[in-house]
Amino acid sequence: MLGNKTKVLLILSQDVVDQARIVAGKATITLKLPVSLQIVLRALIEDGLKRDDHPTLLANVESQAKAVRRLRSVARQGRRAEGEPGDRQSGIWQRPNGREQPKRRKSGGVGGHPVMRRTGATGLDARQDVTTNAEE
Which H or E element spans position 100? strand 100-102
Tens of pLDDT, residues 75-125: 998 877 666 555 455 556 555 666 665 555 555 544 544 444 444 444 444
pLDDT at 73: 93
Q: What is the mean pLDDT of residues 42-56?
A: 90
The 3 state secondary structure assigned to 25-42 is: HHHHHHHCCCCCHHHHHH
Report if residue 45 sits inside a domain: yes
Percent of residues in the chain assigned helix, strand, coil, to nearest 5: 45, 10, 45
Secondary structure class of 52 (helix, strand, coil): coil
Report if residue 62 sits inside a domain: yes
Q: Which residues contact 70 (CB under 8 A, 6 or more apart)?
A: none
Tens of pLDDT, residues 20-41: 999 999 999 999 999 999 999 9
Report if residue 94 sits inside a domain: no
pLDDT at 9: 92
Q: pLDDT: is 94 or 64 the higher one?
A: 64
CA separation, residue 79 to residues 92, 94, 120, 121 (Å):
15, 16, 41, 44
Domain containing 73 equals 14-81
Report if residue 119 sits inside a domain: no
Report if residue 23 sits inside a domain: yes
Report the range of poorest mean pLDDT among 45-54, 58-67, 84-93, 121-130. 121-130
Tell me how many domains the chain contains.
Answer: 1
Please provide the DSSP assignment of 102-136 as one string: EPPPP--SGGG--EEEEETTTTEEEEE-----TT-
